[in-house]
C-alpha cells in the first residue's frame, strides 16, 4: 500500500516555505506602502530631503568656496538654494538661513532671483 501523501519532512518544508513566502509578501507590501507615502510627501515638499543640517552645512561650504574662488554665480545660486530650503523650517535651520542671507548680502545679490524675461 502506498503512503497517504508526502513524508513529514517534505510537508514541514512546504509549510516553512509558505510561511516565508507570506512574510516576504507582507514585507514587500509594507515597503511599497511606505515608499508610496514617502514619494507623495516628497512630491508635496521637494526640499524635504535637503532640510538636514549636515546637508545645508555642506552647501554653505560649497558656496563659501565658490565665493572665495571668484565664482559669484555659483555662490549666489547655492546661497539662494539654502535660503529657500531653510525658509520656515524652524529654529534649528535658522543659522543656515542667516549665513546664506549674509553671503548674498556680501555679494550684493537679492534674496530671490530675478523673474523670467517678459
pLDDT single digits (tens) 35-52: 999 888 778 776 777 778
Neighbouring C-beta atoms of residue 53, cutoff 10 Å = 12
Average pLDDT value for the chain: 86
Are both 52 and 39 inside the same structural domain? no
Are both 71 and 90 inside the same structural domain? yes
CB 80 within 8 A of CB 113: yes
> Which pLDDT band, with edges at 50, 70 and 90, does 1 fall under?
low
Are both 17 and 67 inside the same structural domain? no
- Domain count of the fold of the chain: 2
pLDDT given for residue 5 in this prediction: 64
Q: Which three cell numbers stand for residue 30?
A: 509594507
Residue 23 placed within a domain: yes
pLDDT tens digit string along 50-100? 778 888 999 999 999 999 999 999 999 999 999 988 887 778 888 999 999
Q: How far is CA 33 from CA 30, 39, 40, 43, 68, in A?
A: 5, 10, 11, 15, 46
CB 56 within 8 A of CB 90: no
Any idea what DSSP says for residue 5?
S
Are both 52 and 100 inside the same structural domain? yes
Are both 53 and 34 inside the same structural domain? no
Mean pLDDT of 8-14: 86
Q: Which three cell numbers stand for residue 60?
A: 554653505
Given a cut of 90, is residue 21 above it in pLDDT? yes
Amino acid at each position: 500500500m502506498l503512503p497517504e501523501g508526502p513524508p513529514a519532512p517534505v510537508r514541514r518544508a512546504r509549510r516553512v516555505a509558505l510561511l516565508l513566502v507570506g512574510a516576504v509578501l507582507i514585507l514587500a507590501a509594507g515597503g511599497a506602502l511606505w515608499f508610496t507615502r514617502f514619494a507623495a510627501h516628497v512630491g508635496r515638499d521637494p526640499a524635504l530631503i535637503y532640510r538636514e543640517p549636515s546637508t545645508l552645512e555642506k552647501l554653505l561650504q560649497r558656496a563659501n568656496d565658490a565665493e572665495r574662488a571668484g565664482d559669484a554665480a555659483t555662490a549666489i545660486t547655492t546661497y539662494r538654494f539654502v535660503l529657500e530650503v531653510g525658509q520656515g523650517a524652524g529654529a534649528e535651520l535658522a543659522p543656515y538661513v542667516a549665513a546664506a542671507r549674509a553671503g548674498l548680502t556680501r555679494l550684493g545679490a537679492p534674496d530671490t532671483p530675478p523673474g523670467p524675461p517678459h
